[in-house]
Amino acid sequence: MRLMIVDDSRASRMLIRSIISEYNSTITIIEAENGAIAVENYRKEKPEIVFLDLTMPVMDGFEALKLILEINNNAVVIVLTADIQGKSVERCMNLGAYMVMKKLPQKDIIFKTLEEIIKSRDLK
């Protein structure tokens, strides 16, 4: 399974990477530091799950979410953001996000979410 972490903060990417690796060390992790690179990586790598920040330079997470879902309308995109205002959450969900998680999420929440996605999508 391939998973992409998109965040302009290297520290945030490293934290999520360590949690994912602890959950399952065989998951291939792809990283991107902005939305434009994320869309490019999504086209090339076709990850099954994407963790996406909203506030980034070059291309924000809203635009990246929209473009990723244009590439694959079944993409599983989990928005990971400190911006959990009602309007932002609603916008993400209306664009087609799988869910919105408050940044920085607890390990057990990520584990539970990954387990749900893997079971419901029959991923390995």
Domains and CATH numbers, the chain: 2-121 (3.40.50.2300)
Torsion of CA 83, 86, 88, 92, to 10 degrees: 120
Percent residues over pLDDT 90 in the chain = 85
- 10 Å Cβ neighbour count for 93? 13
CA separation (Å) from 82 to 2, 41, 104?
A: 24, 24, 8
pLDDT 10s digits, 24-41: 999 999 999 999 999 999
Confidence of residue 42 (pLDDT cuts 50, 70, 90): very high
Query: Rounded CA gap, 8 and 39, in Å?
Result: 14
Confidence of residue 100 (pLDDT cuts 50, 70, 90): very high
pLDDT for position 121: 82
pLDDT 10s digits, 46-82: 999 999 999 999 999 999 999 999 999 999 999 998 8
DSSP 106: P
pTM, rounded to two decimals = 0.93
